[in-house]
């Protein structure tokens, strides 16, 4: 239904943004990225769309590129908790837990932070407590590769699966 609406109204940026988010929610990440790219322009950037594009790129495993989108969003809305939370989860996905925790603490420190920021921070703190002991006990690096199934899950679920699973 949204797809047909975007065909009928290709210039409706809000409609494109909604359709792009719906595609991402359903795991169609590349198509979501393409649609979200049409939902705004460099002349009139929307920080919400930039952040959504970053989240989609994270799901595609393109972490460095995702962080460029988060940086662009943060230039528009400095210290926005939702963008910082997405950035923190990006660091989780690439196994940079110290940066993830630092970024999520910045987001949590904002009075307008969503309760999910606190949950994400707690998850990262728990991972940091678990991974060093596993590395010592199991004699292997905490930087395991994640499987394809993990990349198709929402970022929070990926982080939780990565933290709680015994293998990658």
Q: Give the CATH fold of the 1-77 domain.
A: 1.25.40
End-to-end CA, the chain? 37
pTM, whole model, 2 decimals? 0.75
pLDDT at 42: 82
Residue 119 sits at the vertex; the CA angle it makes with 21 and 64, to the nearest 5 degrees, is: 55
Domain spans of the chain, in order of start: 1-77, 79-168
Per-residue pLDDT of the chain (168 residues; tens, 9 = 90+): 556 655 555 566 888 888 889 999 999 999 999 999 998 888 889 999 999 999 999 999 999 999 999 999 999 999 999 999 999 999 999 999 999 999 999 999 999 999 999 999 999 999 888 876 554 444 444 333 333 323 323 444 444 434 444 434
Structural contact between residues 20 and 39, judged by C-beta atoms closer than 8 angstroms? yes
Question: Under DSSP, is residue 40 helix (H, G, I), strand (E, B) or coil?
Answer: coil
Q: Cβ neighbours of residue 53 under 8 Å, at least 6 residues apart?
A: 33, 36, 37, 66, 69
């Amino acid at each position: 239904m949204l797809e047909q609406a975007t065909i009928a109204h290709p210039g409706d940026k809000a409609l494109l943004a909604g359709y792009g988010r719906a595609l991402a929610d359903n795991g169609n990440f590349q198509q979501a990225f393409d649609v979200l790219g049409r939902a705004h322009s460099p002349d009139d950037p929307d920080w919400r769309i930039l952040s959504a594009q970053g989240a989609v790129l994270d799901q595609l495993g393109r972490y460095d590129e995702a962080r460029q989108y988060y940086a662009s969003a943060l230039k528009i809305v400095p210290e926005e908790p939702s963008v910082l939370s997405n950035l923190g989860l990006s660091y989780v996905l690439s196994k940079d837990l110290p940066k993830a925790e630092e970024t999520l603490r910045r987001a949590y420190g904002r009075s307008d932070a969503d309760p999910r920021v606190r949950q994400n921070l707690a998850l990262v703190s728990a991972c940091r407590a678990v991974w060093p002991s596993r590395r010592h006990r199991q004699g292997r690096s905490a930087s395991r590769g994640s499987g394809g199934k993990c990349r198709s899950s929402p970022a929070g679920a990926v982080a939780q699966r990565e933290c709680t699973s015994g293998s990658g």
